[in-house]
């Protein structure tokens, strides 16, 4: 145990939760440094919610240990509860009550006296842009408003650790950006945030470390950069002037890059994932050569971009399944760069683009 290490906010070792036959969480080890955003990334059914619920003392682990600032969750649940706050996957606010009532109620339960709880609620609603809806029942709120109220409720009094279980699932890009801003502001105040997400983009943007989980196990852990490096892929996207030239461009690219090239839905767009092993001279240099070849063949390119390897690609490589369908039967460790995975790669990229709410 890292008891002496005060910089660790959450530490789990061999955490297990079994539902009947199903090992929902199957030996999870996590070390979350204090004062950072830690991303837990995984597809549907990976065990994210179950893990968070154990850490928030809502479920009893069936095996292993979990400590929050040194307090074991099943032995000292009250000490853990005093330090954490939870925004669950499904709105943890009361639909029947108004925004103000929700926050005042919670303020009272946290120990504020009535006037202080009212002030605090008003302050929060203002800061979260909900003043106009303060007196409406939460069931009339949009998804984004509900989320913000939910997060406001979680930070009514600043927790040491905040659990956000898929805080942006189902939000539009603008609301998602707002949530991201909120998370950044919270962490800047010194709160440790453990955030689960299915959006790779989100983990990449917010988290300083990421654990990728699948079928109840951590299959990769590290900084976003490390994860990308371990997969070692970049993506070339290009858009031609003339759709007629696509077939030829495809041939040229496959020859130069030595990897399969995919046709996008857009009839002028092509993309290819470049693997480190084949990228002799580096991905950038190879891409430059490809562009030169295309120009030499009279193919006009309107738009060209060289993407950093995305976390989607990392996920695909790690699990063998695209991140957004969670089939869960992938072979861990398989690097999928062959043409047979076109479909999967497309879907993975689709997720990424949904996630990119800029």
Partner 1 sequence: MSTATVNDQDVRVAPVTAQDLSAVLASGQRPERPSALSASLTFGWRAVLKIKHVPEQLFDVTAFPVMMVLMYTYLFGGALAGSTSEYLQFLLPGILVMSVVMITMYTGVAVNTDIEKGVFDRIRSLPIWRPAAMVGYLLGDMLRYTVASAVILAVGLVLGYRPDGGVVGVLGGVALLLVFSFAFSWIWTMLGLMLRTEKSVMGVSMMVIFPLTFLSNIFVDPETMPDWLQAFVNNSPITHLASAVRELMAGEWPAAEVAWSLGWAGAFAVVFAPLTMRLYNRM
> Can you tell me which of 1, 6, 116, 327 binds partner 1, judged by CB under 8 A?
116
Minimum distance from CB of 133 to ligand ATP (Å)?
Answer: 27
Instruction: Give the per-residue SS3 of the chain.
Output: CCCCCCCEEEEEEEEEEEECCEEEEEEEEEEEECCCEEEEECCCCCCHHHHHHHHCCCCCCCEEEEEECCEECCCCHHHHHCCEEEECCCCCCCCCCEHHHHHHHHHHHHCCCHHHHHHHHHHHHHHCCCHHHCCCEHHHCCHHHHHHHHHHHHCCCCCCEEEEECCCCCCCHHHHHHHHHHHHHHHHCCCEEEEEECCHHHHHHHCCEEEEEECCEEEEEECHHHHHHHHCEEEEEEEECCHHHHHHHHHHHHHHHCCCEEECCCCCEEEEEEEHHHCCCCHHHHHHHHHHHHHHCCCCEEEEEEECCCHHHHHHHHHCCCCCCCCCCCCCCCCCCCHHHHHHHHHHHHHHHHHCCC
CB atoms within 10 A of CB 276: 14
Contact between 22 and partner 1 per CB under 8 A = no
Nearest to 37 by CA among 149, 148, 197: 197
Work out what residue 61 binds among Mg ion, partner 1, ligand ATP, none; the CB cut-off runs from 5 to 8 Å by kind: none
| CA 16 – CA 195 distance, rounded (Å) | 19
**Contact range with partner 1 by CB under 8 A, out of 181-189, 293-301, 328-336, 343-351:** 181-189
**Contact range with Mg ion by CB under 5 A, out of 48-56, 136-144, 186-194, 225-233:** 48-56
Contact between 169 and Mg ion per CB under 5 A = no
Residue nearer to partner 1 on the CB measure, 29 or 94: 94
Provide φ and ψ at 55, rounded to 5°. Answer: -70, -30
> Can you tell me which of 89, 131, 177, 354 binds Mg ion, judged by CB under 5 A?
89
Residue nearer to partner 1 on the CB measure, 2 or 44: 44
Minimum distance from CB of 169 to ligand ATP (Å)?
Answer: 8
Contact between 315 and partner 1 per CB under 8 A = no
> Can you tell me which of 41, 66, 86, 193 binds partner 1, judged by CB under 8 A?
86
Work out what residue 354 binds among Mg ion, ligand ATP, partner 1, none; the CB cut-off runs from 5 to 8 Å by kind: none
| CA 185 – CA 178 distance, rounded (Å) | 11
Residue nearer to partner 1 on the CB measure, 31 or 123: 123
Mark residues 253-292: x for contact with partner 1 by CB under 8 A, - for none: ----------------------------------------
> Can you tell me which of 9, 25, 182, 294 binds partner 1, judged by CB under 8 A?
182
Mark residues 186-225: x for contact with partner 1 by CB under 8 A, - for none: x-xx------------------------------------
Strand order in the sheet with 8-19: 22-33, 8-19, 63-68, 71-72
Structure tokens belonging to residue 162: 């905040």
Contact between 142 and partner 1 per CB under 8 A = yes
**Contact range with partner 1 by CB under 8 A, out of 24-32, 37-45, 140-148, 333-341:** 140-148
Interface residue list for ligand ATP (CB under 6 A): 19, 22, 24, 42, 44-50, 89, 198
Contact between 145 and partner 1 per CB under 8 A = yes
Q: Give the interface with Mg ion as residue ranges (CB under 5 A).
A: 48-49, 89
Q: Give the interface with partner 1 as residue ranges (CB under 8 A).
A: 53, 56-58, 60, 78, 81-82, 84-97, 101, 105-106, 108-112, 116, 120, 123-124, 126-133, 137, 142, 144-145, 148, 153-159, 178, 181-182, 184-186, 188-189
């Amino acid at each position: 145990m890292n008891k002496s290490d005060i910089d660790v906010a959450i530490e789990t070792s061999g955490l297990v939760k079994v539902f009947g036959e199903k090992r929902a969480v199957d030996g999870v080890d996590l070390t979350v440094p204090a004062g950072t955003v830690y991303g837990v990334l995984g597809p549907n059914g990976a065990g994210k919610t179950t893990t968070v619920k154990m850490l928030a003392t809502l479920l009893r682990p069936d095996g292993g240990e979990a400590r929050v600032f040194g307090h074991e969750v099943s032995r000292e649940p009250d000490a853990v509860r005093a330090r954490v706050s939870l925004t669950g996957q499904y709105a943890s606010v009361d639909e029947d009550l108004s925004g103000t009532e929700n926050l005042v109620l919670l303020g009272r339960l946290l120990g504020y006296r009535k006037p202080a709880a009212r002030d605090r609620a008003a302050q929060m609603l203002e800061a979260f842009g909900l003043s106009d809806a303060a007196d409406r029942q939460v069931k009339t709120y949009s998804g984004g408003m509900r989320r913000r109220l939910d997060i406001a409720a979680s930070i009514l009094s600043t927790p040491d650790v905040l659990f956000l279980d898929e805080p942006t699932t189902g939000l539009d890009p603008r609301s998602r950006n707002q949530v991201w801003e909120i998370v950044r502001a919270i962490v800047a105040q010194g709160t440790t945030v453990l955030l689960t997400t299915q959006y790779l983009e989100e983990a990449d943007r917010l988290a300083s470390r990421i654990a990728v989980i699948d079928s109840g196990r951590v299959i990769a852990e590290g900084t976003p950069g490390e994860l990308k490096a371990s997969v070692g892929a970049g993506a070339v996207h290009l858009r031609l002037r003339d759709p007629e030239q696509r077939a030829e461009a495809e041939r040229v690219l496959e020859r130069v890059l030595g990897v399969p090239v995919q046709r996008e839905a857009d009839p002028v767009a092509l993309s290819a994932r470049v693997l480190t092993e084949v990228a002799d001279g580096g991905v950038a240099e190879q891409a430059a050569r490809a562009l030169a070849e295309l120009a030499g063949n009279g193919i006009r390119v309107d738009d060209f971009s060289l993407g950093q390897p995305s976390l989607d690609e990392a996920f695909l490589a790690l699990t063998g399944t695209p991140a957004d369908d969670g089939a869960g039967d992938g072979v861990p460790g398989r690097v999928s760069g062959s043409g047979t995975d076109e479909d999967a790669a497309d879907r993975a990229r689709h997720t990424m683009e949904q996630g990119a709410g800029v």
